[in-house]
């Protein structure tokens, strides 16, 4: 063949190969015989919280791909323990999913559940991640972390966190208290919705909740943002300085939502669900939608990579719990 010969003859071959690859990709999104009935996503917070918003987005991705109904089932209480224990009793068939943030590992590390999370459940996929936001009731005069520290020296302040005792917010704030010598007392509620209502109503001075919930609350004018607890500013609150910018570089309280199934669930179901959710969350339109709410897609990881990542986090978490002396 001459070097300058037209390559148009390659086009049918390329197209045929692409069609086969596309068909193989699509086949990986589905599992023969699954799902044939509605799927349930259990969450450990009340409807309307940031976790609920993410769960409903996730449910829609599965509905759009598989054409089967997906129901979000809020089971608030116990800092997420009620939802976790319900999930532990489920059948490993892929029809019951638990969506939980980093607080799920806290439950195991602090012995709030009587089983090993990483042995009882199989991680499926990391869906979204977002920073927490430190909020203040409008009656609190402090507008920065430095001013909060000074204010708490003369008047101990109360704070609430959406994940309750032993959750991500509680342990994160206890670490901040130790670093800053701030005088704060934790008040537990069942979720971010009642926590925000308590903050708006003046029952507590401060609140810490996900960027998704905090963005709406700040825009309503009923609370004030004090700091983004992420390493970078929240996309939905670009004018709100991070806690690192306010004197605590490297400190963060962030959250990543993961989907879990009961250990023993067929691997093809786990792999297909991982692909559908990852692809859906990284679609350009979804990335923009999440950014508007202060969130973003989580890093793409296979179920095996996610398990390894969670196992590393668990070791660090046990060390943190011990250092902070958290007891229940």
Residue range 72-81, pLDDT digits in tens: 999 988 778 9
All CATH 3.40.190.10 domain ranges in the chain, comma separated: 131-228
* Interval 259-278: pLDDT, tens: 999 999 999 999 999 999 99
Report whether pLDDT(169) > 90. no
Specify the pLDDT at position 155.
87
* Interval 135-156: pLDDT, tens: 999 999 999 999 999 999 998 8
CB atoms within 10 A of CB 249: 10
C-alpha dihedral, 76 to 163 to 211 to 228, nearest 10°: 170
Report whether pLDDT(95) > 90. yes
Specify the pLDDT at position 318.
85
Q: What's the chain's Rg over C-alpha atoms?
A: 22
Specify the pLDDT at position 210.
87
Q: Are the C-beta atoms of residues 132 and 208 closer than 8 Å to each other?
A: yes
Specify the pLDDT at position 327.
64
- Picking from 131, 160, 127, 135, the residue whose alpha carbon sits closest to that of residue 236 is 131
Superfamily of domain 131-228: Periplasmic binding protein-like II (3.40.190.10)
Q: Are the C-beta atoms of residues 300 and 281 closer than 8 Å to each other?
A: no
Specify the pLDDT at position 5.
45
* Cα→Cα distances 107→79, 110, 112, 195, 321, Å: 8, 5, 5, 20, 11
Residue 187 structure tokens: 């008040």
CB atoms within 10 A of CB 34: 18
All CATH 3.40.190.150 domain ranges in the chain, comma separated: 38-129+254-324
Report whether pLDDT(52) > 60. yes
Rounded to whole angstroms, the Cα distance separating 81 from 77 reads: 7
Report whether pLDDT(124) > 50. yes
Specify the pLDDT at position 321.
79
CB atoms within 10 A of CB 70: 21
- Name the fold adopted by 38-129+254-324: D-Maltodextrin-Binding Protein; domain 2 (3.40.190)
Q: Is the peptide bond before 35 cis (omega within 30 degrees of 0)?
A: yes
* Interval 178-200: pLDDT, tens: 999 999 999 988 777 788 899 99
What is the pLDDT of the chain when averaged over all its residues? 88
CB atoms within 10 A of CB 212: 25
Q: Are the C-beta atoms of residues 232 and 218 closer than 8 Å to each other?
A: no
Q: Are the C-beta atoms of residues 207 and 223 closer than 8 Å to each other?
A: yes
Specify the pLDDT at position 23.
41
Specify the pLDDT at position 143.
95
For residues 45 and 251, which has the higher predicted lDDT (pLDDT)?
A: 251
* Interval 5-49: pLDDT, tens: 444 444 444 444 444 443 444 556 789 999 999 999 999 988 877
| DSSP label at residue 235 | T
SS3 176: helix
> What is the distance of C-alpha 179 from the center of its chain?
25
Which residues is 296 bridged to in the sheet? 129
Rounded to whole angstroms, the Cα distance separating 176 from 249 reads: 12
């Amino acid at each position: 063949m001459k070097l300058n010969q037209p390559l148009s003859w390659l086009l049918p071959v390329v197209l045929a190969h692409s069609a086969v690859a596309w068909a193989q990709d699509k086949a990986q999104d589905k599992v023969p015989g699954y799902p044939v009935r509605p799927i349930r996503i259990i969450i450990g917070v009340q409807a309307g919280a940031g976790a609920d918003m993410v769960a409903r987005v996730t449910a829609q991705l599965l509905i759009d791909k598989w054409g089967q109904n997906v129901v979000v089932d809020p089971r608030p209480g116990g800092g997420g323990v009620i939802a976790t224990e319900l999930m532990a009793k489920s059948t490993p068939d892929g029809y019951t999913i638990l969506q939980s943030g980093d607080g799920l590992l806290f439950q195991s590390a602090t012995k709030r559940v009587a089983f090993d999370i990483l042995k009882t459940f199989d991680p499926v996929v990391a869906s979204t991640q977002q920073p927490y936001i430190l909020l203040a009731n409008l009656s609190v005069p402090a507008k920065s972390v430095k001013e909060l520290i000074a204010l708490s020296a003369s008047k101990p302040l109360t704070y609430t966190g959406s994940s309750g005792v032993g959750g991500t917010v509680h342990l994160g704030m206890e670490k901040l208290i130790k670093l800053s010598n701030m005088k704060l007392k934790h008040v537990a509620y069942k979720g971010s919705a009642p926590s925000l209502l308590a903050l708006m109503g003046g029952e507590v001075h401060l609140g810490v909740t996900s960027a998704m919930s905090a963005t709406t609350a700040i825009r309503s004018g009923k609370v004030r943002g004090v700091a983004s607890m992420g390493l970078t500013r929240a996309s939905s609150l670009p004018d709100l300085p991070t806690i690192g910018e306010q004197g605590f570089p490297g400190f963060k309280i962030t959250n990543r939502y993961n989907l879990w199934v009961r250990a023993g669930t067929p691997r093809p179901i786990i792999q297909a669900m991982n692909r559908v959710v990852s692809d859906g969350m990284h679609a350009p339109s979804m990335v923009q939608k999440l950014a508007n709410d202060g969130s973003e897609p989580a890093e793409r990881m296979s179920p095996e990579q996610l398990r390894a990542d969670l196992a590393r986090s668990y070791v660090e978490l046990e060390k943190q719990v011990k250092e902070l002396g958290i007891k229940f």
